[in-house]
Amino acid sequence: MNTFQALTRWLTPWRTIRRLEAENQRLREQAVLGAAINQELSILAESRRLKIEALASPAYRLRKCPTHGQQPPNAWGCPECVWELRGELVTHQSITAEPTATAAARSPAGLISMVQIPAGRFLMGSPEDEPGRLDHEGPQHEVTLGAFFMAKTPITQAQWREVASWPRVERDLDPDPSYFKGDNRPVEQVSWHDAMEFCHRLSQRTGKNYTLPSEAQWEYACRAGTTIPFHFRPTISTDVANYDGNYIYGYGQDSKGTYRQQTTDVASFPANAWGLHDMHGNVWEWCLDKWHANYNGAPTDGSVWVEDVEGEKNKELEKIRLLRGGSWGSYPRYCRSAFRYGSRPVDRYFNIGFRVCCLPQD
């Protein structure tokens, strides 16, 4: 046996091991993809059931505000209030006392409009009877948060391009990463790491603490004092948000809307009670937190949740970062205030963007 034959014989087992490792990796990836596809299929099957339940609900047949006695212009649109629906229970919730989106700040040099989010507490997650709810949206739990500032809109392409020209902190930034072009459209095709670099550069330039919001901060700011599936009313339409209008959601909506199939300029739709635009649809928004299967063990102070939970050891899930809000291509149920999604921090897709928050200095 010559030297080449001996070397080949010695390498053969290692080549076999490498092939087996590659095959195992392929099978793991297929399993993760298969689970995602199965979830999508179950969502499609459930959508018909949800519509039937909504149409059969006594709340659907109610057309007057129980407090003001007004006939709203649509199913749930009393101009003076927001209604909270829970099965047969319909309660009035006045929004006149809620904090308004005053005390806006711009930073730096007027680049980003920031809205002050007041300190307070809220019930995070969704109730078990909310249409479209998934198990990882619970259990509901009370969270108490301090005040902070949040960007009025998702970061735009013009804002991104400006910050991308500043000195790097840890990584370079592509000044024009977006698939759908437009200075006032949200930047997309940016990874979690890219978004963090954006925050680091803002912090370095201003001396303030800019970061991505925690998941609790995001949901608290999105709800703006409401407890219904969307901050404007219990259902959603393409008149107030950018999502896949081929599908409907919940109470009172029995017709499809517009499917724009692309992003829209930020602030094209009404803001919530605290002055934040595009919290439902347009682009998914990165949060700081790692993915967890549910809220068991979640912080109750609004802080970022990155610690592992006993029994949740999974190398694939450990890599996932949280996304919130839904996008232009999402089913309406994915755009709910409580809906949670996630992706790898290296992923760059044309439906993922972000907004920043600014935390008080210690």
132-179: per-residue pLDDT in tens? 999 999 999 999 999 999 999 999 999 999 999 999 999 999 999 999
**Contact assessment for residue 110 and residue 116, using Cβ atoms and an 8 Å cutoff:** no
Element of type H or E holding 299: none
Start-end of H helices in 146-284: 157-164, 192-206, 215-223
Q: Where are the beta strands (DSSP E) in the chain?
A: 81-86, 89-94, 105-107, 112-117, 120-124, 141-145, 148-151, 209-211, 284-290, 321-324, 341-343, 352-353, 357-359
Q: What share of the chain is helix, strand, coil (3-state, %, to 5)?
A: 30, 15, 55
- Which pLDDT belongs to residue 56? 42
Collapsing DSSP to helix, strand or coil, 51 comes out as helix
- Which pLDDT belongs to residue 306? 84
> Which of the four pLDDT bands, split at 50, 70 and 90, describes residue 250?
confident
DSSP 183: T
Which of residues 184 and 60 earns the better pLDDT score? 184
Provide, rounded to the nearest whole percent, the portion of the chain with pLDDT above 70. Answer: 65
- Which pLDDT belongs to residue 80? 34
Q: Which two tokens stand for residue 271?
A: 């803001």
Q: How far is CA 269 from CA 39, 223, 328, in A?
A: 30, 16, 13
Strand partners, 121: 144
Mean pLDDT of the chain: 78
- The answer, yes or no, to whether residue 320 has pLDDT greater than 90, is yes
Distance of alpha carbon 333 from alpha carbon 343, whole angstroms: 18
- As a whole number, mean pLDDT of residues 19-47 equals 54
pTM strictly above 0.85: no
156 backbone dihedrals φ, ψ, rounded to 5°: -85, 170
Domain ranges of the chain: 1-56, 57-97, 100-359
Query: Which of 305, 338, 303 has its CA nearest to residue 320?
Result: 305
Distance of alpha carbon 58 from alpha carbon 287, whole angstroms: 37
Give the pairing type, strands 120-124 and 209-211: unpaired
Distance of alpha carbon 308 from alpha carbon 318, whole angstroms: 8
183-230: per-residue pLDDT in tens? 999 999 999 999 999 999 999 999 999 999 999 999 999 999 999 999
Please report, as a single letter, which amino acid is at residue 157: Q
Distance of alpha carbon 152 from alpha carbon 75, whole angstroms: 28
- Give the CATH number of domain 100-359; options: 1.10.150.120, 3.90.1580.10, 3.30.830.10, 1.10.287.70: 3.90.1580.10
